[in-house]
């Protein structure tokens, strides 16, 4: 081995050359293409889904707020059932009344919603016969 390439620790040391890259000179009359302003920062989309956001929101609600939200959902389902009933879509109305009853079953004082949905279901069954 060449004494220049031998290292004290016995390893091989090769000579490396540094390469210098020079920029081409600018030609007269040509404008240098440089960005006029720094690139805009683009925020990455939040990886959390809407479902995760809703779960986090529900965690922050009090028990009273949860009851009010459930009552509102039951009333919305009942109202949707009423729309289907008015349009003569009795099976769709039945489905919505069922949803309202399921939600209302979890509420303490929902007799008004439950009784209206049971009555409306009975009329739907009569219309389907």
96 vs 28, higher pLDDT: 96
> Residue 88: pLDDT band by 50, 70, 90 thresholds?
very high
pTM comes to 0.53
Burial class (CB in 10 A: 0-12, 13-18, 19+), 21: exposed
Q: How far is CA 88 from the centre of its chain?
A: 35
What is the C-alpha to C-alpha distance for residues 116 and 105, in angstroms, rounded to an integer?
13
**Phi and psi, residue 12, nearest 5°:** -90, 130
SS3 category, 43: coil
Residue 58 pLDDT: 61
- Tell me the domain boundaries of the chain: 63-128
Contact status, residue 93 vs residue 78, Cβ threshold 8 Å: no
């Amino acid at each position: 081995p060449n004494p220049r390439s031998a290292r004290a620790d016995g390893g091989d040391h090769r000579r490396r050359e540094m390469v210098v890259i020079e920029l081409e000179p600018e030609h007269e009359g040509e404008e240098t293409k440089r960005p006029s302003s720094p690139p805009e920062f683009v925020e990455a989309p939040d990886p959390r889904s809407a479902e995760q956001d809703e779960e986090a929101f529900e965690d922050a609600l009090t028990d009273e707020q949860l009851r009010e939200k459930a009552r509102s959902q039951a009333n919305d389902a009942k109202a949707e059932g009423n729309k289907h009933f008015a349009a003569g879509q009795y099976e769709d109305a039945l489905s919505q009344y069922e949803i309202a009853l399921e939600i209302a079953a979890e509420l303490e004082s929902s007799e008004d919603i439950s009784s209206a949905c049971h009555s409306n279901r009975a009329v739907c069954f009569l219309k389907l016969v």
